[in-house]
């Protein structure tokens, strides 16, 4: 998933704000924790994707860097997959 910085910020910020607002409306500590966890996921994802974009744009021609970038992208993809599974579980309740 290759995105430009504006797309990364727009997508992640939108989802972060959705979950932050849910946390602000939540009534129990468990709900607040669950919603803030999802909000922070989007902040972390935004930071990681922007960092990878910067590294790839500035040093992406180096074969060693390229390999590390691929491993980092795989790790991010796994986190996104885990997040999606968690959201699907929540929807199934």
pLDDT digits (tens, 9 = 90+) for 36-84: 999 999 999 999 999 999 999 999 899 999 999 999 999 999 999 999 9
Q: What residues contact 73, with CB distance under 8 A and at least 6 apart? A: 52
How many residues are there in the chain?
A: 93
Is the pLDDT reported for residue 19 higher than 90? yes
pLDDT of residue 2: 76
pLDDT of residue 93: 67
Are 53 and 73 spatial neighbours (Cβ–Cβ below 8 Å)?
no
Whole-prediction pTM: 0.87
Is the pLDDT reported for residue 92 higher than 90? no
């Amino acid at each position: 998933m290759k995105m430009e910085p504006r797309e990364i910020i727009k997508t992640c910020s939108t989802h972060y704000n959705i979950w932050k607002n849910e946390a602000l409306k939540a009534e129990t500590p468990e709900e607040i924790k669950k919603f803030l966890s999802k909000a922070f996921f989007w902040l972390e994802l935004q930071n990681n994707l922007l960092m990878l974009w910067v590294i790839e744009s500035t040093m992406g021609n180096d074969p060693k860097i390229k390999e590390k970038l691929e491993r980092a992208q795989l790790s991010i993809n796994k986190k996104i997959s885990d997040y999606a599974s968690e959201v699907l579980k929540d929807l199934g309740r």
